[in-house]
Structure 1
């Protein structure tokens, strides 16, 4: 297994340091994910840029959490499921919804279920979402812009999920209460 360094503001390549600082400002600490990504300033910059843009996207807040958790569950990313479950709960997402997402089960809320189903299909089918799936999403009250915002969120999660798979990123203590294992 390849060993990846967990960088901090003193060991990271110079180009990564401002991105570590930005991540620290956003999260309150340097996550082990950012610490691993810091080895590649471009990856860390890209991830942070996608996180910022997805945060500004037109999707409602709870829908963003649905995208993050669903993509991470489908990709089997233990780190990201734990992290995003913690953040979702902290941001007022219903605990029953978070548990359903972690289990890959449908959500009771029809609008959020449409987000979950579209995200699940997008990740599982590598973007080859059926026209019928898109139409169901639109019928739930979302727009074409929202479809593309889900693409943005999935792209963001692809970077972090794959990094965590390759680097075996250790779970931050902040996410420990929501630890998750893939089946």
Structure 2
């Protein structure tokens, strides 16, 4: 059970109700437990997340690449909810189930560019400080541009934010369980 009580979505007013309305319009009506809690507690923070995601959606990384980045961050931080969410959203984005399994297990997927992204994001998760020239050269050699490296950074940061909140809150998982 989540540690932070969140009122029923239908009962919320003000800025939280406004942000819930925005989510409903863009998600077909569904508001995840993470977004319900963040929207209630700090609506402006959730608005910032949604704005950043809209910016990324208009960028050059594919939806699959965004989900891969968030899935790796979730696996590395141990956020059960986010692993389930990004496995589910990754499948909706067209990533085959076997590929998602391989990504979660950090096994090769058979796609060199995707595997380079998994390695790079995994490396970012487990190290501190400036990445090595070898890491930078490898991700660039895989075909990622300077703009995409900035987009990877923002996607990574969004994943860290929601993963950290969910770990603190122990947010109830509201996505299909990962097999």
TM-score w.r.t. the length of structure 2 is 0.89
Aligned-pair CA distance for 1:9:
3.8
Aligned-pair CA distance for 1:5:
2.1
Residue 139 (structure 2) aligns with = 137
- 1: distance between equivalents of 2:2 and 2:176? 24
- 2: distance between equivalents of 1:93 and 1:58? 18
Encode CA deviations 1:107-140: one digit per residue, 9 max, x unaligned. Answer: 3210111111111112222463222111101101
Preserved contact between residue 106 and residue 116 of structure 1 (Cα < 8 Å): no
Q: 1:125 to 1:25 in 2, by over 3 A?
A: farther
Residue 165 (structure 2) aligns with = 163
Runs of 4+ in 1 over 4 A off after TM superposition: none
Q: 1:33 to 1:132 in 2, by over 3 A?
A: same
RMSD: 2.1
Aligned length: 177
Residue 33 (structure 1) aligns with = 34
Please list every run of 5 or more consecutive structure 1 residues that lacks an aligned counterpart in the other structure. Answer: none
- 2: distance between equivalents of 1:58 and 1:7? 37
Preserved contact between residue 3 and residue 171 of structure 2 (Cα < 8 Å): no
Matches for 1:1-183 after TM superposition, within 5 Å: 3-12=3-12, 14-28=14-28, 29-38=30-39, 39-126=41-128, 128-172=130-174, 175-178=175-178
Q: 1:123 to 1:57 in 2, by over 3 A?
A: farther
Q: 1:104 to 1:22 in 2, by over 3 A?
A: farther
Please list every run of 5 or more consecutive structure 2 residues that lacks an aligned counterpart in the other structure. Answer: none
- 2: distance between equivalents of 1:117 and 1:79? 22
Preserved contact between residue 2 and residue 172 of structure 2 (Cα < 8 Å): no
TM-score w.r.t. the length of structure 1 is 0.87
Preserved contact between residue 134 and residue 147 of structure 1 (Cα < 8 Å): no
